[in-house]
Each structure stands twice: as structure tokens, then as C-alpha cells.
């Protein structure tokens, strides 16, 4: 799916609205763990996933460090979001300002990891959206090696396949499987209209019960 069509389908759609639509399709396990959060409140994600996976390094003093990472990052395309699966590792900051600089030049749409990042002060001031569990100053060299890219990855209990649509904001990250993206966009439009009507009614009457009886959403 191209970014312009994704933008058209999901413009302004929150992770919560997307999760509600997925609930409707009985896809009830599509949100990442709640500790995966944006580095800055302005950091939001919308785009297809580019997946890579890291494992604990075999060699703490590698002669040729970063090889898997460098190889993988040659394949990421503009508009994609790099999904860096680490098995929720605390071993190293797998993302930083140098990787970000290259990604910005390629117009990559953002980065997401179930691990940790570093260079947070610079990155929090920048526009490139980054979601992670937190920060640590350690380098990945000799700690975590990228061992695969282009394959599905699992973050916590949620599987992300290349091309699945990621919607992230301050609430967290919702993963929309690519094959239901069109249906989710339709359901979101309906829920959004109902929420708008609910909000107006609730603001006027102050009664949640009344608004819920009229519009059937919350
Ligand atoms: O060295 C790394 O893997 C991450 C990093 O600090 C950067 O991208 O600046
Ligand atoms: Mg750095």
C-alpha cells in the first residue's frame, strides 16, 4: 500500500480508533505492550512495517560489528517504519541519532522497537518519530546483532508482518494487518462519526447514559 493511499485512509486516525475497528473484526490482540511509547508527544506513526530482528550477540568483541544492521538498513524504503524486534532486550540502545540521520535522508516514516534507544535528547527534539520502551547509553556492538530482515517479527505477543500498517501515538501502537486495512478504514470512519455525535450530545446534556443510548459507542 502506498503512503498517499495510507494517508488518505488513516489521516488523523488514532491508535484507539484503529483498535476499536480491529475489535469489531474480532482481532483483539493487535496493540503493542503499553511500555512501548513515543519519545516525544508529537511523535506519531503511520506507515507500513519494515521488520528486522536482533538477538544477543555471540561475540562481545566482533571484528566486523553492525554487519546485520547495515545490511538490513540498505533495504528500508521511504515511507516505511523500521520495526526493530529485540525480544524486549535491555542490553543496548539499538537506535540513535546516526541511524536516524540516514533514515531521514531516505524519508523513512519512523522507528519502533520493543527494546531501548539512545541519543534521546537530540531525538526527542527532532521530528522523526521513535517509539521504544526507554533508553540506555550502551551501544549495540557486541551486545545485540541484527540477524534477519524482511521476515515477520513478534513484539511481546503481537506479530507484525512486513507491510502491516502501524498507527502510533501517545496511547501506544496498534498493528493493522495489511489485508484488513481497507475494512478497518471503513469501520473507523463509522466509529468516528458516531463519536462526534456522542461528544456533542454528552457536552450538551452531561449524561453519558443518554449519549450512549442515542449513539451506542464509547
Ligand atoms: O550506535 C548505534 O547503534 C546507535 C547510535 O548510537 C546512533 O545511531 O547514533
Ligand atoms: Mg549515537
Structural domain span for residue 208: 184-215
From the CA of 96, the nearest ligand is: 1
Q: Candidates 70, 104, 140, 146: which one to mutate for ligand 1, based on the most atoms within 8 Å of Cβ?
A: 140
- φ, ψ at 45 (rounded to 5°): -115, 135
How far is ligand 1, taken at its centre, from the CA of residue 119, in Å?
Answer: 8
Residues 6+ apart with CB under 8 A from 18: 10, 167, 174, 176, 184, 188
Q: Is beta strand 45-56 parallel, antiparallel or unpaired with respect to 144-149?
A: antiparallel
Q: What is the pLDDT of residues 65-112, one digit of tens each?
A: 999 999 999 999 999 999 999 999 999 999 999 999 999 999 999 999
State whether 158 and 200 are in the same domain: no
Q: Are the C-beta atoms of 47 and 109 separated by less than 8 Å?
A: yes
Q: Are residues 29 and 96 in the same domain?
A: yes
Same-domain status, 168 and 204: no
Q: Which atom of ligand 1 is nearest to the CA of 97?
A: 9
- Is pTM, for the whole model, over 0.90? yes
Whether the CB of 118 sits within 6 Å of ligand 1: yes
Number of domains composing the chain: 2
**Nearest atom of ligand 1 to the alpha carbon of 95:** 4
| Interval 43-56: pLDDT, tens | 999 999 999 999 99
Amino acid at each position: 500500500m502506498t503512503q498517499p493511499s495510507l494517508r488518505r485512509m488513516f489521516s488523523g486516525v488514532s491508535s484507539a480508533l484503529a483498535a476499536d475497528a480491529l475489535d469489531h473484526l474480532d482481532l483483539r490482540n493487535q496493540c503493542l505492550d503499553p511500555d512501548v511509547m513515543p519519545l516525544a508527544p508529537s511523535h506519531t506513526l503511520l506507515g507500513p512495517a519494515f521488520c528486522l530482528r536482533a538477538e544477543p550477540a555471540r561475540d562481545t568483541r566482533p571484528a566486523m560489528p553492525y554487519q546485520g544492521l547495515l545490511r538490513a538498513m540498505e533495504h528500508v524504503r521511504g515511507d516505511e517504519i523500521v520495526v526493530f524486534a529485540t525480544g524486549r532486550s535491555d542490553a543496548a540502545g539499538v537506535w540513535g541519532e546516526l541511524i536516524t540521520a540516514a533514515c531521514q535522508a531516505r524519508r523513512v516514516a519512523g522507528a519502533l522497537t520493543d527494546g531501548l534507544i539512545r541519543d534521546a535528547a537530540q531525538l526527542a527534539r527532532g521530528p522523526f518519530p521513535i517509539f521504544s520502551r526507554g533508553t540506555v547509553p550502551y551501544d549495540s556492538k557486541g551486545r545485540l546483532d541484527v540477524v534477519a530482515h524482511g521476515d515477520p517479527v513478534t513484539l511481546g505477543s503481537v506479530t507484525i508482518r512486513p507491510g502491516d500498517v502501524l498507527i502510533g501515538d501517545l496511547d501506544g501502537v496498534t498493528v493493522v494487518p495489511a489485508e484488513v486495512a481497507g475494512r478497518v478504514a471503513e469501520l473507523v470512519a463509522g466509529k468516528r462519526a458516531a463519536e462526534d455525535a456522542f461528544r456533542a450530545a454528552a457536552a450538551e446534556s452531561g449524561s453519558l447514559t443518554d449519549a450512549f443510548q442515542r449513539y451506542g459507542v464509547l
